[in-house]
């Protein structure tokens, strides 16, 4: 792997992003429980192990199901300066926390929501990415969404997660079939 082929954090202009095939997606307003990390934490996700450092925020998607162990909730680290630029305190009138949210509140989390969108594209080919939370570049497989955050930081997520967080037009049957073929072909090449 050539280091010039690795996508890393950098300053982007809108023209740069559009030229690279990225589009802007608005967030769906959804509750996120978050707190500061006072101890570093490694988190295994589908494509890599990422690290939240002391002073970062750890964010939890509480969902509707209570988990005794907070690590069983979908969670991810966000660097403090990036969190402050992207998230606001939850402001829905009459909010009544569900059992999962109450549990995370009892662990020191507070409710927030992401109010800024992201630039993203769904990958047709694998791409090497160096995220802020990863110690080394990882290959992001086709079918995943490659995202550029507010500070120009690249990261990725799967289609289901991206669609749960951002306003994305519904896929046609033809598009679903295309993406299934892209992901299947990549898996066959890895297995060969």
Which of 133 and 107 is assigned the larger pLDDT?
Answer: 107
Structure tokens at 13: 């202009």
Percent of the chain exceeding pLDDT 90 equals: 76
The pLDDT, as a whole number, for residue 3 is: 63
| pLDDT tens sequence across 92-123 | 999 999 999 999 999 999 999 999 999 999 99
Which of 52 and 188 is assigned the larger pLDDT?
Answer: 52
| pLDDT tens sequence across 134-152 | 888 999 999 999 999 999 9
Q: In which band, very low, low, confident or very high, does the pLDDT at 178 lie, cut at 50, 70 and 90?
A: confident
Task: HSE, CB side, 13 Å, CA atoms: give it for residue 28.
Answer: 10
User: Residue 79 belongs to what H/E stretch?
Assistant: none
Percent of the chain exceeding pLDDT 70 equals: 97
The pLDDT, as a whole number, for residue 116 is: 95
Q: In which band, very low, low, confident or very high, does the pLDDT at 190 lie, cut at 50, 70 and 90?
A: confident
Residue 192 has pLDDT above 70, yes or no: no
User: Residue 23 belongs to what H/E stretch?
Assistant: strand 23-25
Residue 1 has pLDDT above 70, yes or no: no
User: Residue 110 belongs to what H/E stretch?
Assistant: strand 110-114
Residue 171 has pLDDT above 90, yes or no: no
The string over 103-134, giving b where at least 16 C-beta atoms fall within 10 Å of a residue's C-beta and e elsewhere, is bbeeeebebbbbeebbbbbbbeeebbbbbbbb
The answer to whether 167 touches 25, Cβ cutoff 8 Å, is yes
The pLDDT, as a whole number, for residue 157 is: 93
The pLDDT, as a whole number, for residue 44 is: 85
Which DSSP string corresponds to 42-92? Answer: EEE-SS-EEEEPTTSEEEEE--SS--SSGGGSEEEEE-HHHHHHHEEE---
The pLDDT, as a whole number, for residue 191 is: 73
The pLDDT, as a whole number, for residue 156 is: 93
The pLDDT, as a whole number, for residue 146 is: 96
């Amino acid at each position: 792997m050539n280091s010039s082929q690795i996508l890393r954090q950098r300053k982007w202009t809108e023209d740069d992003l559009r030229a690279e095939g990225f589009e802007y997606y608005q967030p769906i307003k959804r509750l996120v429980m978050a707190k500061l990390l006072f101890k570093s934490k490694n988190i295994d996700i589908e494509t890599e192990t990422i690290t939240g450092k002391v002073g970062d925020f750890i964010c939890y998607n509480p969902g509707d199901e209570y988990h005794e162990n907070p690590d069983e909730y979908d969670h991810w680290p966000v660097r403090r300066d990036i969190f402050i630029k992207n998230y606001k305190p939850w402001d829905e009138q009459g909010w009544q926390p569900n059992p999962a949210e109450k549990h995370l509140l009892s662990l020191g989390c507070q409710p927030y929501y992401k109010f800024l969108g992201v630039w993203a594209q769904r990958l047709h080919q694998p791409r090497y990415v160096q995220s802020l939370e990863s110690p080394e570049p990882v290959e992001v497989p086709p079918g995943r969404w490659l995202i550029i955050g507010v500070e120009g930081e690249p990261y990725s997520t799967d289609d289901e997660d991206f669609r749960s967080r951002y306003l994305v037009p519904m896929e046609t049957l033809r598009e679903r079939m295309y993406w299934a073929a892209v992901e299947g072909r990549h898996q066959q090449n890895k297995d060969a």
